[in-house]
Structure formats: C-alpha cells, structure tokens
Amino acid sequence: MEPIRTPGKQPTFSQIVKHPVSYALYVIVAVFTSLIWWLTTQNDNCREELAKAQAEKDKLITAILVKNGIINEVKKANDSLRTEVKK
C-alpha cells in the first residue's frame, strides 16, 4: 500500500525549483537547445556557396556549348533573360 501523504510533508514549488537536480536539468536543456540552434544555423553559408557555385558552373557550361557551336548566341541570350527573371 502507498503511504498516505500529509499536506505538511509535500515539498513546495520553491523547494523543487531550488533543488540541485532542477539546476542540472536547466543546464542540460540549455546546452541541448544551444547545440540544436548551432546545428541548424551553420548550414546557411553552405547553401549560399552552393548556389553561387552552381550558377558559375551553369555559366561555364553555357560558354563551352556556345564555343563549340552546339547552341547559338540567341539561345544564350534567352537563357540569361530567363535566369534574371527567376531571381
């Protein structure tokens, strides 16, 4: 059987909050939150760099195709106009 608790024996909210285990939980939650925040924000620069690299790659491929005569300058001009509209 479970012992009967009397109202005087139950800890108060301030006693629970001031307990060392509560402080440890605060620290664990703070570290976990900051770690998640750091992991989610560190990839922003990578995405920008990848977008720039892809744009440079597209320009180089277009230049090679134009040089080899596979596509003409009109097609290149249309592609560049379409690219500027997308931005």
pLDDT at 53 over 90: yes
What is the model's pLDDT at position 79?
A: 65
Average pLDDT for 25-51? 88
The whole domain housing 19 covers: 13-42
Residue 3 resides in a domain: no
Residue 79 resides in a domain: yes
Residues 34 and 51 in one domain: no
Residues 58 and 77 in one domain: yes
Which range is least confidently modeled, 22-26, 34-38, 62-66? 62-66
Task: Give 45-79 as a 3 state SS string.
Answer: HHHHHHHHHHHHHHHHHHHHHHHCCCCCHHHHHHH
The domain tally of the chain equals 2
pLDDT at 84 over 90: no
